Amino acid sequence: MALIPSQVLRVAILMSYFSILCHYKALDMPAHQTYGGSWKFLTFIDLVIQAVFFGLCVLIDVSSLLTRGGDSREQERQLKKLIGLRDWMMAVLAFPVGAFVVFTFWSLYLYDRELVYPKLLDNFIPQWLNHGMHTTVLPFIIIEMRTTRHRYPGRSCGLAAVCCFGVGYILWTCWVHQVTGVWVYPVLERITPLARVAFFSAMTAVICVFYTLGEILNSYIWDQPHTEKFKGE
């Protein structure tokens, strides 16, 4: 039996994302005042994705409690739709995008922080908020995967959806540069156009790898004999 019910964990994680988003939006940063605002940063988009995802999880928990013991087929049908949407978000957005943000941010940060998170930002963003945006995302989503079984779509459909998200963000980044003349991330300023194409292609491949890893991890957790006792959750 879990020490903390999964429903309580999801509410706590949702509240933490609300807190992080509120503190982030309250920051007086010049980049927030330029074209695209916070929405040009993948970190912020990911925070919104995680908040919406865990909000959906909490909604499903509440709906399950309210409909428990009832015999309404319509309510069951609507609940199944919500669960299907939750599983799709987990597979296509929450896990791959969250893991991608954590992996790429800390990889570039350790190599040369000026490429992704210039030291100047320390004057605006406290350390706890930085970790809330770039570190805790991954353990939170793994906790959700460990406590609740999620059904993944077919791999080809899932990868196609992830690629659409990745290409969409790349096009958005290029549009912001077209309008402002400035790349969203310093690393893009330091490389040649050909290298940018290679960089964007590599990043799209990486996020597809994280989709596949999420699918494998979900299958390992829930389809192995040692997890039989959790399948009733």
> What does pTM read for this prediction?
0.91
Res 109 pLDDT > 70: yes
CB atoms < 10 A from the CB of 138, how many? 17
Is residue 10 a contact partner of residue 144, using CB atoms and an 8 Å limit?
yes
Res 233 pLDDT > 50: no
Q: What value does the CA radius of gyration of the chain take, rounded to a whole number of Å? A: 19
Q: What is the pLDDT of residue 64?
A: 87
pLDDT category of residue 69 using cuts at 50, 70 and 90 = low
Amino acid present at 196: R
**% of residues, the chain, pLDDT over 90:** 77
pLDDT category of residue 225 using cuts at 50, 70 and 90 = low
Q: What is the pLDDT of residue 76?
A: 82
CA dist 55 and 10 (Å) reads 8
